[in-house]
Amino acid sequence: MSLVVSYIPLVVLAVLSLGFAPLAWWMSRFLRPNRPTQWKDTTYECGSVPIGEAHVQFRFQYYLFAIIFVVFDLVATFLLVWTLAFSGFTAEAKMWGLVFLGILLVGVAYALKKEEFIWI
């Protein structure tokens, strides 16, 4: 069978599983009570009156890790393709793949060593 046809069951399954949560939620409205008060409308901050908004520009402190992550995610993708085709490679092709991986690993090791005190 063609490739497109073989994915039709997956599409049906995806519709079913993505629709599961909204459907269950929608069905529960026939059973659940609805007694809103002004206190239920506030955000939860351990019982005290909420201070300020949480829709803020948040500073997360692992920016460097995030950059390395993006680079290495791509490397992992290359690695997956390389390993899949591994047994068909010549010795030279195998070596260049390893050299590529090695250079990136050295880069990551250097970055981690240099930014050892990145945290706070």
Partner 1 sequence: MGYSGLLEWVKFNNPMDNAYYPYDVYNLPYDAGAKLWELLGGLLGWLINLLVPGNRLSTWLISDAVVNAFAIIFLAVILFAVGFVVNLTMIWEERKVLGRMMDRRGTKIGPLGYFQCLGDGLKTFMKENVAPADKDKKIYWWALSLVIGSSVLIACMVPLSHRWFVVDYSTGLLLIFGIFALAPFFILCAGWAQNNKYSLLGGIRAATLMISYEIPMLILLASVVLMAGSFNINDIVNAQFDTMWYIVPQFIGFIVFVVCAIAESERVPFDLAEAEAELVEGWQTEYAGMKWGLIMLGDYFRGYTACALIVILYLGGWMLPGIGATAVPELVFLLKIFAVFFIFIWARASLPRVRIDQILNIGWKRLMPLSVVNLCIVLLLKMGGVF
Residues that bind partner 1 (CB under 8 A): 1, 3, 5-10, 12-22, 24-25, 28-29, 31-35, 40-46, 53-56, 58, 60, 62, 65-66, 68-69, 72-73, 76-77, 79-80, 82-84, 86-87, 94, 98, 105, 108, 112, 119-120
Closest contact distance (angstroms) between CB of 96 and partner 1 is 14
Is 29 or 92 the residue whose CB approaches partner 1 more closely? 29
Closest contact distance (angstroms) between CB of 9 and partner 1 is 5
Closest contact distance (angstroms) between CB of 100 and partner 1 is 13
Closest contact distance (angstroms) between CB of 108 and partner 1 is 7
Question: What is the rounded CA–CA span in Å between residue 56 and residue 17?
Answer: 33
How many residues are given for the chain? 120
Beta strand residue intervals within the chain, DSSP E: none
Contacting residues for 119 by C-beta, under 8 A, at least 6 apart: 61, 62
Question: What is the rounded CA–CA span in Å between residue 79 and residue 81?
Answer: 5
Cα–Cα distance list, 40 to 45, 82, 85 (Å): 12, 55, 57
